[in-house]
Structure 1
């Protein structure tokens, strides 16, 4: 594994994930550090909304999506095909269990969004599958 840049906090959970999985493909994820210079405005907006540091640790489905880990260990995904951000679980282990069981990620809505499409399904604030992060 390559040395990680200084902008990633020493206690960030992405460091452990990348130290173990860098360069490997597990399921649909190619594990590697995503260059922060190329983070989309959506990722930076979600980072602000979630009040965390998001670190991209892999490409999903051959570049159709990206996998992010938050400072508290929560795992998220970003579609590179359409405007969708989604929640995988409270930890990398919970993500792995979800993936193993074939469970879908939970869509998330930015404050100005009324709906988001994921898996070809339109989700709204009323959809039980929609994930709303706890407010701190």
Structure 2
């Protein structure tokens, strides 16, 4: 919580997000608490580059994220821009957090929970890419992944 406090968060902080998520979605409370705050910084990380997280609901939904919604059966809502605005962080109904950007060949799982996703981003832990239907391989952060690779994430059921 120290990172959030240094960024200006205080208990009871409530702001109205620019785009209001569906009632009951995990994004509602996160955006009300953290919209407008930026935590972390771009630097060398543990496994890959660590990044910043700028909380905002002002982010577009990519076709890859729409595909994850169809595969997972859950609604994904943008909650932040990450890595100096190169990527977008989304949270689903289940609390799982996903990322996507135009520079990568595949979307990815940032974390099974919001806390896991934030830790992963700000400390520079590798993400778990998601091959979408029709994709046999993808390169994400310089690593090549092929169908069947245990490092991939199967959005509908866990490991692929």
Shorter chain as denominator, the TM-score bin is: 0.7 to 0.9
Unmatched runs of 5 consecutive residues or more in structure 2: 1-14, 41-51
Q: Larger RCO: Structure 1 or Structure 2 (Cα < 8 Å, ≥ 6 residues apart)?
A: 2
For residues 100-126 of structure 1, the C-alpha deviation after alignment (integer angstroms, 9 at most, x for no partner) is 553211111012100111111111122
2:98 paired with 1:85: no
**Pairwise CA RMSD of aligned residues?**
1.9
Counterpart among 16, 36, 51 of residue 23 in structure 1: 36
Counterpart among 51, 65, 68 of residue 87 in structure 2: 65
Which residue matches 1:33? 57
Radius of gyration: which is bigger?
A: 2
Unmatched runs of 5 consecutive residues or more in structure 1: none
1:34–1:55: 8 Å Cα contact kept in structure 2? no
For residues 44-63 of structure 1, the C-alpha deviation after alignment (integer angstroms, 9 at most, x for no partner) is 22211211101001111222
Which residue matches 1:2? 16
2:150 paired with 1:105: no
Aligned length: 132
Counterpart among 1, 7, 12 of residue 25 in structure 2: 12
- Secondary structure of 1:11's counterpart equals coil
- Secondary structure of 2:119's counterpart equals helix
- Secondary structure of 1:72's counterpart equals coil
TM-score by length of 2: 0.73
Instruction: Tell me how far 1:129 sits from its aligned partner.
Output: 1.1
Seen in structure 2, the aligned counterparts of structure 1 residues 86 and 49 have a Cα distance that, compared at 3 Å, is same
Which residue matches 1:116? 138
TM-score by length of 1: 0.85
Q: In the aligned structure 1, how far is the partner of 2:132 from the partner of 2:94?
A: 20
